[in-house]
Every structure is written in C-alpha cells, then in structure tokens.
C-alpha cells in the first residue's frame, strides 16, 4: 500500500518538483514519531523506541510511505549533530577528563571484544576474511546519540556512569576511525602504517586539545567577540559557527561530525547563557525525531527472507549486545556493579555509525548485499533494545525518575 | 576559483558520499551570511541584505563554492516556513481581519498593476503572448518572508501598516494562485473555468476559515490535548504538528506552504506560551539564513551577457518595483501618506515566489532561458532593494528604532 503524494491539483506544479513533498514528509515523519513515542511511554517504554519504530513503519520495510532520500538524510545528520551539541552544553570538560582513565579502558575493551567476536562469527560461516574484518569493524562503533537522548530526557547526564559513557563514546569514535582506516586499507591491499598512525594521532590530538583547552579559550574569546557584534542572538550565532567549524574539522580529521559537535557544546558549556540552551533545544525538538526515525527507515526486512540470513542476523545481534555489555562493563569494574551495568548497556547502540561502516564495505564491493542487510539489522536492533535496558540499569539511580510521568492516565 | 571539498583523507569515505559536504555547506552558508549581515549593519543597511548577498557570492554567479541542491532547497523552504510561523505567533487574527478591507484593496491593485505592466513590457518587445502572460504572473506574487523578517527584526510587527502588509500578502498569495492557474491553463490551451473557480474558492475558504475560527478552536483543543500527553515540550510538539498539517493542506489547496505556516502561527498566537516562541525562534536562527542565502544563490549573472537582456532586466525590475509601490500604495490611501509608502514598499519583494512561477513557465517550455534569467534577476533584485527602502519608510515610526544598535563601534 502506497500513499499517493500527488493529490495537488494537477493543473499546477506540473513542471516543478512537487511542492507538497517536503511538508508532507515532515508531517508524516514527525507526526508518526511523536505518536508512537507517546504510545511507547504509555506502555512504560522509552519514547525514543517509538520514534525509531516510526521510521521502520513508514519506511520501505512496512508501509513504504517514506523513502530514504537526501533531505531526510541531511535532517537526520543535522539532528544528531544538534543532539550531541546540546548534550555537550550540559557537560563540563573537566568532569569528563576526570573519568578519562576509566573511559579509556571501557572504550578499548569495547572495541577489541566486538571486533574479535564479529570477525570470528563471519570466519565461522566461511565468509572471506575481508568481509569478516568489515563486519567486525561495523560492530565496533557505538552511536552515542541514542544513549545521550535517553539520559538527557531523563535528566541523568550528571550521573557518574553517564559521564564515563560520554567520554568512552568519544574515545570509541577515534578508535573506530583507526579500525575502519585499517580495514579499508587492508581491503585495498595497501596498508600504509605511517598514514594510519598520522590519521590516528591527528584525530586524537584534535579531540584531546579541544576537550582540554577549548573551554578556557572560548571563555576568553566569546564574550569579547560578542560585545562587538550588532546582531541579535549574537551568542547563539557564535555557538552555531563553532559547532559547524568543529564538525567540519572533525570530519576532515577522520572522526564523526557529531564528535566535533559534542566537543563544541562542551567547550561552550561554561561560557554561554541559558538562552543558547533554549534556542538549541528548539532545533533539537524539531530535528531529533528525524535522526531517530532515520535509523529505523533503513531497516530492510529482507534479512528475514532466508533461514541462513535470519540466523546470522540473530547471532550477530546477540554478539553485538553481549560483547559491548561485557567489554565495556568490565572496563568500568572500578565503579562497582550498578555503574558497570549502566556503562555496558549505554555503549550498546550502534545506530548510524555501524551503518556507515557497512555502506563503505558495500561500496568497495567487499561485503555482500545480504551481509549488509544483516549489519543494518544489527544496528537498528541494538538501537531499539538499548533504551529499555538503560531504563532498567538506571532504575535505582537517585536522580533517575523512571516513573515520572507514567502515572498520568 | 573553486573550493576543493575533498580534503578528507582519501583513505576513508571512498565509497560513501562525502561526509564533510553537509557540515561544510552549513558552515559556508551560515558563516558568510552572518558575516555579510554584520557588515551591512555596520554600513547602516539591514543585515538581511548581507545574508541574501551571501548566496550571490557563494553561488555559481561569483565564487561557485556552493551549488543549489536538494538539501539547501529543503533547508531554505523549512526556513521560510518557520519564519512565517513565528511571525504568525506574534499576530492576532482579529487584528488582521480588522484591516481586511484595506488589505483586499492593496492586494487586488498590487496584482492587477504588475500583471498588466509585465504583460505590456513583454508584448512591446514582441515576445509570444503566453510568455508575456507568464512574466506578468511572475511579477504578481509578493514574497512576504523578506518584509516579515525586516519588520520582526526591528520590532515593527505591531504597526498598523505591518498588519495591512501581512494580510495583503496572504490575499495576494491566493490571487496569485488564481493568476498562475489561469496562465498555466491558457498555456496548455485548456481553460476550464469551473476548475479555476473551484481552486480559487477552496483556497480562499481555507484561508478565511482558519483566520476566522482557528484561534478560537485551538484555544479549546490545545490545552485539553496537551494535558493528556506524557512527553516533554508537548505544547511545542503540538504546534509543530499544526504547522506541518496546515502547510500540507495549503499546498494541496494550491496556496503556498508558507501561507499555511503563517495561519498556523496566527491560530496559535493566543494559546501557546512563551516557551513555544523561544523554541521556534531557535529554529529560525538556524534556518532563516538558508532561506535568505537560498534566494541569492539562484542569481544568474548571464543576464548581463547581452545588451538586450540587460535592458530588459532593468526595465522589468523598475516595473516590478514601481507597480507594487503605486498599486499597493494607492490601495492603502485611507491610511495616510506614511502608511501608503510603508505598505507599497513592504509588498515589493518577490523572493522565492516569482522564481517558482518562472520555473513552471520554463518547465512548460513557454518561456525562454534568457527570460527566465530576467525574472530571477527581478526577484533577487526586488528582494535586495526592499529592506533599505523599508528602513526608510518606517524611519519615523514611533516604535521603530532604526538606529538601535548602530552606535556600537
């Protein structure tokens, strides 16, 4: 069943692209995301699960009313950039640096274990070793957006475990870059160790420098520049410029744009006023549903087509969950059992990051369409199971109010 | 001179679309728009002129660093939708209906005069009469976004002349729909009067009904629905749903999405709290520069290639300015000379609306590439000259503070 998008009077618009397309796409994605989010909340589940499911329902897998396109992809990417920016605004870099040692251990174990097990599973079913390397790489990268959204919505960003998760996710992204660069160069048969080291060192240096000195530098620069500007909302405009600049820099250095966005937010967290938070929050309210639904939209139910693919999907999914849970959990052993569980669960979602790795492998022709579908299934499914698990893991948290609004009818 | 967008390590991203593209486009468009906006303010001109010029400078006409693409078009359309939504939030529908008679006269004269003169100019240079009709139609539609942005930025939305401009712009859009529908059907050689009347009546009924009863109905519905919802920012989410719904309805009925967005804002203006304004304002701050630069980006300097096209451009531009100034000014004769000037000037910008009409004509093959370029030049140029003229027209306004911030160095 397909929705007819061409109900506009045929008389007009014959020659231009259909002008109802954008508003209708906005209405469908935003409306269904909010509707299913509300439904999930009433069922005692995090609303975020409903918003991801909205993408599954609207996308090619079920109704086919909305197709992945450039515009949705851009709104989704902007959405996760602003999500991480706003999360960064809530976090002081000094607090993140304080948990740096633990976060490093969490990130490292959370990279090694999924990569190894992912490779082993593919090797066990006699896939080519390049394909096995790519599946391993796709299982490495945590998508911190999902966890950050759950924690921010429940007011749990100030918990110690939350800070370890955020710091570990940033380190994880840099390590993931290294793994992807290594795997890609192996697939091309051209491993250049010097180039790999340079890429890694530059990305790591960028991250550490901004985290360490960004806040102090901006605390001096922003107020001076701001008072020289005539425009209204000058502080917010400066914040957006920093956000875009660090996102571009991050991508140029090989890490994800969202790492740049998070670092920009964190560097500004001690300088900007409440107004900047509010204005950025407005952008989030609009765009984050597109990020969430945008993940669900990519699900391809053809993985359930053959028994072999189905079993592989289930195996990869379980491995993806268990390896992060154990790897990251063990990495956080110093924090005690409650926080070990929180950290382990918080690192599970793969979201858009795993999908990008799989797309690169597909584009290079080293992984097959069906393995690609398996990886996408794993990324969507880890993203769906993590929020309820997070809710469970944080249930005893003093600041957590898991039952806050469910008493309403 | 072209900017190399492919500085990212070639090792990665070989297979996916370049991930630096979106953040870099955001940085360039937003950054240059704000920079030139600031520069214009310091030169005593409205910042909006600088933001439009940013599109001209970055676009194919000058640097060629940014090309018009689907994503920029979507951000631009979203930007003008939110701009009109926020303007609607500031306006009570009762106040707009009160100036309805004057606005109707302003809109009608402001449609008849430009259409007639546009047709006459093209007829005088022996263009085909279908082409002449299309140029006339492209000169009809006021793009209220530019004027609204200037008035909102200077805190002038509550002036009587401002309300006449807003009401007249909405009526103008409905009349413009009728003109475009008529011209398109003439071009196809298939004039169906019944269909034209139906289109017009439905569009007019939609606009009048929402303007008249929307505010009252939502005042009853929104609070009831809101208190049943569990999500945070429920009121803002409901507002966005209404915005998208009315935009879709408006387009289905043949009027512009921004008319639906404006009506949605106005219908909510007496119901929603300050928080909704602030959150929507955040979205505006991000997206409006894309709307403004998006107009400039379409300018094609090839119109200056031949003397004939150049003179035609100048003639069409002068006609476009003078016919709105006189037509709309005379329509507002009851308000006195100061307001006549304000209304006349406020209706001058054609912005994106004239461009859409010209695109339809181009797509139907009834206007030539060079006439298309002339119309686009007219739309961009009217949009650039209007803000300084508006600043002049409102200089004596008691609420206007034209010098508000220019004293800062």
Stretch among A14-28, A51-65, A104-118, B147-161 having the lowest mean pLDDT: A14-28
- pLDDT above 70 as % of chain A: 92
Contact A196, A185 (CB under 8 A): yes
Q: Which residues of A, range 370-399, sit inside 8 Å of B by Cβ?
A: none
Looking at the complex, report in whole angstroms how far the Cα of residue A209 sits from the nearest Cα belonging to chain B: 20
In the predicted model, what is the mean pLDDT of residues B159-173? Answer: 90
Q: How many CB atoms lie within 10 A of CB B4?
A: 5
> Do A70 and B70 make contact, defined as CB atoms within 8 angstroms?
yes
Domain assignment of residue A219, yes or no:
yes
If you search the block for the tokens 């289905």, which residue do you land on? B252
Stretch among A10-19, A217-226, B285-294 having the lowest mean pLDDT: A10-19
Nearest in space to B243 (alpha carbons), one of A299, A285, A184: A285
On chain A, the residues whose CB falls within 8 A of the CB of B130 are: none
Q: Which residues of A, range 171-190, sit inside 8 Å of B by Cβ?
A: 177, 180-181, 184-185
Per-residue pLDDT, A300: 74
For residue range A216-234, what is the model confidence (pLDDT) as tens digits? Answer: 888 888 888 888 887 778 8
For residue range A313-357, what is the model confidence (pLDDT) as tens digits? Answer: 999 999 999 999 999 999 999 999 999 999 999 999 987 778 888
Contact A404, A356 (CB under 8 A): no
> Do A70 and B71 make contact, defined as CB atoms within 8 angstroms?
yes
In the predicted model, what is the mean pLDDT of residues A258-264? Answer: 89
* CA closest to B27 among chain A residues: A244
Per-residue pLDDT, B398: 57
Per the structure, the complete domain to which residue B168 belongs is given by: 21-393
CA distance B314 to B377: 9
For residue range A104-126, what is the model confidence (pLDDT) as tens digits? Answer: 999 999 999 999 999 999 999 98
Domain assignment of residue A46, yes or no:
no
Residue B15 pLDDT class (50, 70, 90 cuts): very low
Domain assignment of residue B181, yes or no:
yes
For residue range A67-99, what is the model confidence (pLDDT) as tens digits? Answer: 888 899 899 999 989 988 998 898 888 888 889
CATH code: domain of residue B135: 1.20.1530.20
Q: Which residues of A, range 308-367, sit inside 8 Å of B by Cβ?
A: 356, 359-364
CA distance A123 to A121: 5
- pLDDT above 90 as % of chain B: 39
If you search the block for the tokens 């004027």, which residue do you land on? B147
If you search the block for the tokens 């599954």, which residue do you land on? A56
- B235 reaches A (C-beta below 8 A): no
3-state secondary structure chain B: CCCCCCCCCCCCCCCCCCCCHHHHHHHHHHHHHHHHHHHHHHCCCCHHHHHHHHHHHHCCCCCCCCCCCHHHHHHHHHHHHHHHHHHHHCCCHHHHHHCHHHHHHHHHHHHHHHHHHHHHHHHHCCCCHHHHHHHHHHCCCCCHHHHHHHHHHCCCCCCHHHHHHHHHHHHHHHHHHHHHHHHHHHHCCCCCHHHHHHHHHHHHHHHHHHHHHHHHHHHHHHHHHHHHCCCCCHHHHHHHHHHHHHHHHHHHHCCCHHHHHHHHHHHHCCCCCHHHHHHHHHHHHHHHHHHHHHHHCCCCHHHHCCHHHHHHHHHHHHHHHHHHHHHHHHHCHHHCHHHHHHHHHHCCCCHHHHHHHHHHHHHCCCCCHHHHHHHHHHHHHHHHHHHHHHHHHCCCCCCCCCCCCCCCC
Number of domains present in the structure of chain B: 1
- A45 reaches B (C-beta below 8 A): no
B138-160 burial string, b = 16+ CB within 10 Å, else e? bbbbbbbbbbbbbbbbbebbebb
If you search the block for the tokens 């699900």, which residue do you land on? A299
Is the per-residue pLDDT at A402 higher than 60?
A: no
Domain assignment of residue B404, yes or no:
no
In the predicted model, what is the mean pLDDT of residues A138-162? Answer: 87
Q: Which two tokens stand for residue A120?
A: 């082993």
Domain assignment of residue A402, yes or no:
no
- A130 reaches B (C-beta below 8 A): no
> Do A12 and B181 make contact, defined as CB atoms within 8 angstroms?
yes
Residue A398 pLDDT class (50, 70, 90 cuts): low
How far are the Cα atoms of B107, B220, B323, B352, B379 from residue B167, in angstroms, in the given order? 9, 25, 19, 19, 21
On chain B, the residues whose CB falls within 8 A of the CB of A254 are: 8-9, 12
Phi-psi region of A69 (alpha: psi -120 to 50; beta: other; left: phi over 0): beta
- B164 reaches A (C-beta below 8 A): no
In the predicted model, what is the mean pLDDT of residues B223-246? Answer: 88
Per-residue pLDDT, A408: 35
Per-residue pLDDT, A10: 32
A298 three-state secondary structure: coil
Q: Which two tokens stand for residue B35?
A: 């920079």
């Amino acid at each position: 069943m397909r929705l007819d998008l061409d109900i506009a009077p045929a008389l007009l618009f014959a020659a231009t692209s259909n002008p109802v397309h954008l508003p209708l796409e906005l209405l469908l994605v935003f409306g269904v995301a909010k509707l299913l989010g509300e439904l999930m909340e009433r069922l005692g589940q995090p609303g975020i699960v409903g918003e991801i499911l909205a993408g599954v329902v609207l996308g090619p897998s079920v109704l086919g009313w909305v197709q992945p396109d450039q515009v949705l992809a851009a709104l989704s990417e902007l959405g996760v950039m602003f999500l991480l920016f706003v999360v960064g605004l809530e976090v002081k870099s000094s607090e993140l640096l304080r948990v740096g040692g633990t976060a490093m251990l969490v990130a490292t174990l959370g990279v090694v274990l999924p990569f190894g097990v992912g490779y082993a599973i593919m090797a066990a079913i006699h896939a080519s070793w390049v394909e096995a390397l790519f599946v391993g790489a796709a299982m490495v990268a945590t998508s911190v957006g999902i966890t950050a959204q759950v924690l921010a919505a429940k007011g749990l960003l100030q918990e110690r475990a939350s800070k370890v998760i955020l710091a570990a996710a940033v380190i994880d992204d840099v390590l993931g870059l290294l793994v992807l660069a290594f795997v890609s160069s192996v697939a091309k048969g051209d491993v250049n160790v010097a180039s790999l080291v340079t890429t890694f060192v530059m990305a790591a240096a960028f991250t550490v420098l901004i985290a360490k000195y960004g806040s102090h530098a901006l605390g001096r620069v922003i107020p001076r520049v701001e008072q020289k500007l005539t425009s209204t909302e000058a502080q917010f405009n400066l914040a957006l410029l920093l956000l875009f600049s660090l996102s571009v820099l991050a991508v140029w250095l090989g890490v994800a744009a969202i790492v740049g966005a998070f670092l920009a937010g964190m560097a500004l967290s001690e300088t900007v006023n409440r107004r900047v938070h509010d204005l950025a929050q407005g952008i989030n309210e609009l765009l984050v549903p597109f990020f969430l639904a945008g993940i669900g939209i990519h699900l391809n139910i053809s993985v359930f087509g053959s028994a072999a693919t189905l079993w592989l999907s289930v195996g990869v999914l379980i491995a993806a969950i268990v390896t992060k849970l154990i790897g990251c959990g063990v990495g956080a052993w110093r924090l005690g059992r409650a926080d070990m569980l929180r950290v382990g669960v918080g690192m599970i979602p793969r979201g858009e990051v795993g999908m990008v790795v799989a797309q690169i492998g597909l584009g290079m022709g080293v992984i097959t369409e069906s393995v690609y579908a398996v990886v996408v299934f794993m990324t969507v499914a880890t993203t769906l199971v993590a929020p309820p698990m997070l809710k469970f893991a944080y249930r005893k948290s003093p600041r957590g109010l898991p039952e806050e609004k469910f008493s309403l009818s």
